[in-house]
Chain A
Amino acid sequence: MVDIHFVRKSMIEEQEPPVATTGVAGWIRENLFSSPLNAVLSILSLAFIFYVLSALLPWIISPTWAATSLGECREILAGHEGACWGVIRERWLQLLFGFYPRELYWRVVLDFALLIVAVAPVLFTGLPRKMLVFSAIYPFLMPWLLWGGSVWNPIAAALGFVLGYYAHKLAKPTLGSLAAVILAFVIPIIWWAFLSGPVVDALASVLPLITLEGVESRNFGGFMLSITIGVVAIAISLPIGIVLALGRQSNLFIVRSLSVGFIEFIRGVPLITLLFVASTLLNIFMPPGTDFDIILRVIIMVTLFASAYMAEVVRGGLAALPKGQYEAADALGLDFWMAQRLIIMPQALKISIPGIVSTFIGVFKDTTLVSIIGLLDPIGLSTSIRADQAWNGVVWELYGFIALMFFIFCFSMSRYSMFLERKLQTGHR
């Protein structure tokens, strides 16, 4: 018979885990050479990386910074392979600012510096909440600094929101909440479409406070254009996407059908088609003589496009939430909007962060498609730079530079999303 009787005589104290890895050598052994197969793979990979770099680095490290034409680059290189960096030195300002007037570059730089200030409190909750006041002002400041004009323009634009707010507030007690919401949309739209223009002109002639020199949209270009389109589309598509996602789940048939119809239509059409609609078709439908800014049209199309994708990403997050969360919110007496704002959305958006950021990155990169309808984003500019006699034939340097710039922006977004996910991690599951 087996003796199964056992009584522990002394309890084991808690002990340190064994130190498996020590220093660099330990790390290398653990991560690269832990088994023969792993070792072979590591060596092959290292050889491959070495091969690529040995071809690439000499090309990149090329003493052609000062060259003023492709011919000069060839002379400097004297038959060796190498990049012709002169084009970047000569044209980098153009790649950043397009044909924006040189003496007004400061406005663009200031605008994007302020963008960082405005976005910072939204991205990092550790910053003082008072900064959000500036974040609220910024959307009106941004176009004014870029396009110039009278200071009354941004004020009139902001006034539309104030009107909407008061329309809602005043109408709600007397006309009911649905009518109030409708009024809150209609009144600002009437204001912007018909009234604000003449009012601004009148005010500007009577009281010309600060008037910035105007810059035409066709002078916009380069990364400044990409960032403008990208940032506006990103910032607006998230709220629209949330509303669409909620609309898609609504019990109201009309609301649901409209949301589904919009989302499916936009997702079923390539962005480039929408951009062509923006650049050509819209003009046909507009009353003749109306001047509807091309960049604004493009921004609207890109925003709608991004919103449809955002809506589906957010819907994924909503679907992942257990029903109990809605029930608990209901049982505590929270109304629909409170429950959405305080319980549902914070969780759904948190789940959706990777998808949302992917959409952001996609939208930002898709802004390069505007080159096809003739806007001078970096890609469009690179074509026109190559049309210059001096740089005819330069390809990789320009695309490499553009790719690097895009990579910096997109990689930052991706890192931020990882930071955010880690920060919002509560408890273990």
Chain B
Amino acid sequence: MSEFAVERQIDRSQMEVSDKVAVQITHMNKWYGTFHVLRDINLSVNEGERIVIAGPSGSGKSTLIRCINRLEEHQSGEIIVDGTELSSDLKNIDKIRSEVGMVFQHFNLFPHLTILENCTLAPIWVRKIPRKEAEETAMHFLEKVKIPEQALKYPGQLSGGQQQRVAIARSLCMMPRIMLFDEPTSALDPEMIKEVLETMIQLAEEGMTMLCVTHEMGFAKQVANRVIFMDQGQIVEQNEPNEFFNNPQHERTKLFLSQILGH
């Protein structure tokens, strides 16, 4: 694993953490049946933060970020996203989902729609934006992820890296205030990981609030302002990246880092 995600200087001019809270999770618990998958999670994310969530497989990272847009339901505690509490009220859920973008490990593009249609579908149907305007926005973001020329192709005709960049563009078309990434590069070949990371870094440079589950420690070091380590459904340690990598405190963190960084 490389030390850096990209070989260039990161532009930090717009990477500011404001003191406005974007996501507030307090005493949150979740069970799958009788299995206690998330245990007393407390996490406050400010606007503009770039958080990397790491941890061994099965530690509940995916479940945690999927709770933030209610793909999974929590059973106790409180999750407040952008001032709206997540409850079973469908209106709140729809509101939050249209403000929180999500990028999946397996892209989850809609294979029966072209790239452009993938990007315009939600803006047209959820945001009720006129088709023409939605298409202009979509092209803008496709240019940003550097694949405008693929707009009329179908997802099945694109490489994995391209598909993941489309997935990012698709989320951005909804103008989200927060982006969630669930291992966006884990299903990709090494040469494609770079292009996706580059896109994510660009987003960070523009000040997007991001929560990323990833094993790309180079990305964490270069971009994140906070790294969270999870194990057995709990937040075990969190710190700013330098301290986290160079001076881990908890035994489990040390073990995990030694395994993943190979020293």
Please indicate whether A and B come from the same complex rather than being unrelated chains: yes
**Which range contains the number of B residues in contact with the other chain?**
20 to 34
Q: How far is the CA of A330 from the CA of B102 in the complex (A)?
A: 10
B112 and A346 within 8 A (CB): yes
Q: How large is the interface on A (under 10, 10 to 19, 20 to 34, 35 or more residues)?
A: 20 to 34
- Taken together as a complex, chains A and B put the C-alpha atoms of A322 and B155 apart, in Å, by 15
- Cβ of A347 and Cβ of B112 under 8 Å apart? yes
Q: Is A328's CB under 8 angstroms from B112's CB?
A: no
CB of B24 within 8 A of chain A? Answer: no
Given contacts A334-B122, A427-B156, contact A324 B112 (CB under 8 A): no
State whether the Cβ of A333 lies closer than 8 Å to any Cβ in chain B.
yes
- Of all chain B residues, which has the CB nearest A336? B90
Query: A110 interface residue, CB < 8 Å from B?
Result: no
B112 near A350: Cβ-Cβ < 8 Å: yes
Complex contact A426–B170 (CB within 8 A): no
With both chains docked as a complex, state the minimum distance between the C-beta of A289 and any C-beta of chain B, in angstroms: 49
Indicate which residue in B97, B104, B110 contacts A333 across the interface (CB closer than 8 Å). B97
Chain A residues with CB below 8 A from B18, complex form: none
**Interfacial chain A residues near B98, Cβ < 8 Å:** 332-333
Of the residues B90, B97, B154, contact of A331 by C-beta under 8 Å = B97
Cβ-neighbour of B108 out of A325, A346, A429 (below 8 A):
A325
Write the chain B residue with the least CB distance to A347: B112
Q: List the A residue with the shortest CB-CB distance to B153.
A: A427
User: Are A426's CB and B112's CB within 8 A?
Assistant: yes
Q: How far is the CB of B225 from chain A (nearest CB, A)?
A: 24
- Taking the nearest CB of chain B, how far is it from the CB of A425, in angstroms? 9
Flag whether B109 is at the interface (Cβ < 8 A): yes
Q: Is B130 an interface residue (CB 8 A)?
A: no
B110 touches which of A335, A338, A343, A429 (Cβ 8 Å): A343
Nearest residue, chain A, Cβ from B117: A342
Are B157 and A332 touching (Cβ within 8 A)? no
Q: State how many angstroms separate the Cβ of B78 from the closest Cβ of chain A.
A: 21
Question: Are A327 and B122 neighbours in the complex by a CB distance under 8 Å?
Answer: no
Decide if A9 is an interface residue (CB 8 Å cutoff): no
Contacts of B110 in A (CB 8 A): 325, 328, 343, 347
CB contacts (< 8 Å) of A334 on chain B: these are: 121-122, 125-126
Does any Cβ of B come within 8 Å of A170's Cβ?
no
- On whether A331 and B111 interact (CB within 8 A), knowing A338-B125, A427-B154, the answer reads no
Asked if B94 is at the interface of the complex by the 8 Å CB criterion, the answer is yes
What residues of chain B lie closer than 8 Å to A338, measured between beta carbons? Answer: 125-126
Q: Are A424 and B94 in contact (CB under 8 A)?
A: no
Using CB atoms, name the residue of chain A closest to B105: A324
A interface, CB within 8 angstroms of B? 322, 324-325, 327-328, 330-335, 338, 342-343, 346-347, 350, 424, 426-429
Which residues of B line the A interface, CB within 8 A? 69-71, 90, 94, 97-98, 100-102, 104, 106, 108-112, 121-122, 125-126, 153-157, 170-171, 174
* 15 CB-based A-B contacts, threshold 8 Å: A322-B108, A328-B109, A328-B110, A330-B69, A330-B71, A330-B97, A331-B69, A331-B97, A331-B101, A332-B121, A334-B125, A426-B155, A427-B153, A427-B154, A427-B155
> Known contacts A332-B98, A338-B126; can you find 13 more A-B pairs with CB under 8 A?
A324-B106, A327-B108, A332-B126, A332-B174, A333-B94, A333-B174, A334-B122, A343-B121, A347-B110, A347-B111, A347-B112, A427-B156, A427-B157
